Each structure stands twice: as C-alpha cells, then as structure tokens.
Amino acid sequence: MIITKRLAAGACALLAALAAGIAPASAADGPSKNSPKVELVLDVSGSMRATDLDGRSRMSVAKEAFGEVIDAVPSGVRLGIRTLGADYAGDDRTLGCKDSKQLYRVGPVDRTEAKTAVATLQPTGWTPIGYALRGADQDLGTDGGTRRIVLITDGEDSCGQPDPCDVARELAAKGTHLTIDTLGLAHDDKTREQLSCIAEATGGTYTSVQHKDELSGRIKQLVRRAEVPVETPKPVNGATECAKAPELGAGLWTDRATFSEHRWYKVQVKPGQELRTSVSVGADRAVDRDYGVLIRAVGPGGRELVRGSDAGSGRTDVMSSGLRYPVGKSGDDDKDEEARTVCLEVSHSFSAPASVKRDPGLPVELAVDLVKSPDSPSDIAAFGLGRGWVLLAVLVLTGLIAGLVWGWVSRWRVSVWRAN
C-alpha cells in the first residue's frame, strides 16, 4: 500500500515536472513553423579584401555588421546564412562558379554559433551570385512563412551562367512569394545595374552602402521588415480567352504575362455589389521607352462594360491601372438572383530589344475587391466627378457674389472720385 502511494506520488511529481519544465521549453524552442524566414547571402570573394569602407577591408566591415545583425534578430524570425566564393581560390571556372554553401541553417538563431561561423570567413574566390541565389531559395524551403533573401556583395556576378537577373525572375515566377533585397559595397554602374535588376525582379530593394553603420542598419531593417505580416499574392494562371479563364475571389493575385500577351480572369459579382480591381505590371528587365497597361471588364457576349488604362514613356519599374463596375439591384428578390460573371482582360504594351529574354513573362499583380454597390446613380458617379458638382456649384456661386461685390465697390469708388 505504501509502495503504491509512493509510485502515485512519483507519477504526480513527474507529470508536474513535465508540465512545468518540458512544456515551456518546447514553447521556447524558437519561432513557429509559419514564422518568417530570412537568409543572408554574403559575398566572400577575393575582391572583399579591398580597403575602401571606413578605411577598412570590406570583409572586416561585413563581419562586424553581421555580428550586430545577429544580436538584433527578432525572436519571431528564422535566420540563415549562405556564402559565395568562400572556399575555392583556384582558376577552374567550373569549381569557382559552384562555390556557395550554407554557413548557418535557417531556423532559430544561436547567436554565439552564428557569429563564430561568420568570424572564420576570409576573402577567397569567385562571385557566383546566380548559383548562390538558387541555393538560398532551396535553403528557405516552402513550409510556410514569408521568404526573404538579403544579398550583400561588392561586385557583379563573375560567372555569367546562370545569369543572376534570370535566376531572380525564375524564382519570382515559381510563386513562392520570395523577395530578394540587394546591398552593394561597390558603386560602379555595372554592379548597380545588376543588383537593381535582381531586386526589381522580386519586388525587393537595392541599396548602395558606403559605411559600416549603413550596412548593419539596412540589414537590421530588412530582417525586421520580414517579421511584419503582409498579404502575399496567390498565384494564378490567366487564360487566353474568357471562356477558359480562372475564377478569382477578393484578394491579391499574381501571374506572368509575356510581351504582347492578353490574360483573362473571371470574377462573380452579385447584385448590389461593386467590383473594384487594379492591375500592376512590373518592368523587371530592360524594356523600350514607350509602354502602357490596359484592364477591361467584359460581360456576356463579349460586350465591354468598363476599362482602365495608363501609358508612359521613359524608365519605369511598374505601370498600373484600375476600374470599378457596380452591379445594381433590380428588385425585391435580389438575394435569389445569380451572380453576374465579369471577365477581366489584362494586357500591356511593353516591348524590349531582341537580346532581352522573354521567359518568364513580366510580373502581373491583380487586386480584386467586392464591396457594397452605391445606392444611387449619383453615388456611382462619385468616383468620377460625382459630388464634385456640388463643389463646382459653390465655387461658381462664390465667384458670382465676389464679382457683384467687387463691381459695386468699384462703382462706389468712381462716384466718390468724381464727387471730389
């Protein structure tokens, strides 16, 4: 009996220990599976020996900045580190252009371990940026959470194949919501152009860095930005005609459209609703100077309902347009009425020199919203001039009164002058 009581007491103590110890420990293991992921990709090529950042070598500045960044990583972010050009110092192009490895696995940060790994790096080899970006994409996986790559380099890719810009477009086209931000430690035009191209292909940013504080501050900012929840567009494949178009609901959608291609989508709009949609087409590669974007809402039988368009000339990163289409109520039994199918046609007039790659197509982002339709025709017109007529009438009336007063004052002054 005593033994039984002791066993029971021991079991209770064990359960209490598990509840008090093991459960909290598992909760403290780090970020959840769906938390944001960031991989820092650091150039460790031979050119990082240059001493032009605050009178110190680029490598030493990058190491110090990484130490500060690692100390400041938010608890809700999974961080990884990948290097390029860190191991092979020879002349064999094949080996040099595959010199990229994961230095620290993406996950909860052990600050001591991560900083120790970075401290051992020495400027060594080639600059295989395209190869490293593909590796970083695989490192991040697709198990949930936002995905961001931060590339820190002091020069353009030294391998050429795969081309880093093409790789960035390829990764963006996969629809895994990857953003690549680039930081340049060198300031020549070729490096700036390539790093800008990589960033623009995925909706990221390019930053030119000249001091250690700028480097650490910008990386910290990008890592923190990854923690901010954002609505990520859902991938969709538009059709070549309305009948085969995929159906979209409210939200953000992303697609790709090659040059001169028309993409079709469907939206179901119920009576009493208003369809509001906008489209943005990104110029993620070199394009010709004249361009435009068009979005049309088309009803049954191919009848155009409304359209929105915009055009421009010169350098641009994105071109956008939008439209609104209300479906009015027709009676008391609106709840029983079927939704109206509205087809959206998206097209753009971007073109490019023959040397520019056509695939994948330019990034297209669609924002679709379905809201309560305005209650009256005047409300429907409000998104154009609409209630602006009221303001116009007030302005006209004010001008008329001011004119009458000014005329009366002028006549009075003239009469006074003649009397004197």
Q: What is the pLDDT of residue 389?
A: 55
Q: How many other C-beta atoms can be found within 10 angstroms of the C-beta atom of residue 102?
A: 17
Task: Give the mean pLDDT per block of 10 residues along the chain (420 residues).
Answer: 42 41 43 84 94 92 94 92 94 93 94 94 94 95 88 89 90 85 89 89 88 92 82 84 93 89 94 92 86 92 91 84 85 62 95 86 90 61 47 74 77 69
User: 234-379: what CATH class?
Assistant: mainly beta
Q: What phi-psi label fits residue 177: left (phi over 0), alpha (psi between -120 and 50 degrees) or beta?
A: left
Q: Which residues contact 277 (CB under 8 A, 6 or more apart)?
A: 267, 295, 297, 322, 323, 344, 366, 367, 368, 369
Q: What is the pLDDT of residue 23?
A: 38
Q: What is the pLDDT of residue 414?
A: 67
Distance CA 346, CA 264 (A): 6
Q: How far is CA 186 from CA 47, 67, 218, 260, 396, in A?
A: 10, 21, 16, 37, 59
What does the block give as tokens for 271? 């009576």
Q: How far is CA 130 from CA 48, 69, 122, 134, 164, in A?
A: 18, 24, 21, 7, 4
Q: What is the pLDDT of residue 383?
A: 43
Beta strand residue intervals within 108-167, DSSP E: 147-153
**Would you say 280 and 319 are in contact if contact means Cβ atoms under 8 Å apart?**
yes
pTM: 0.65
Q: What is the pLDDT of residue 375?
A: 59
CATH architecture, range 37-227: 3-Layer(aba) Sandwich (3.40)
Question: What are the sequence ranges of the domains in the chain?
Answer: 37-227, 234-379
Q: How many other C-beta atoms can be found within 10 angstroms of the C-beta atom of residue 293?
A: 25
Is the bond into 360 cis (omega within 30 degrees of 0)? yes
**Would you say 96 and 90 are in contact if contact means Cβ atoms under 8 Å apart?**
yes
Q: What is the pLDDT of residue 26?
A: 38
Distance CA 231, CA 217 (A): 25
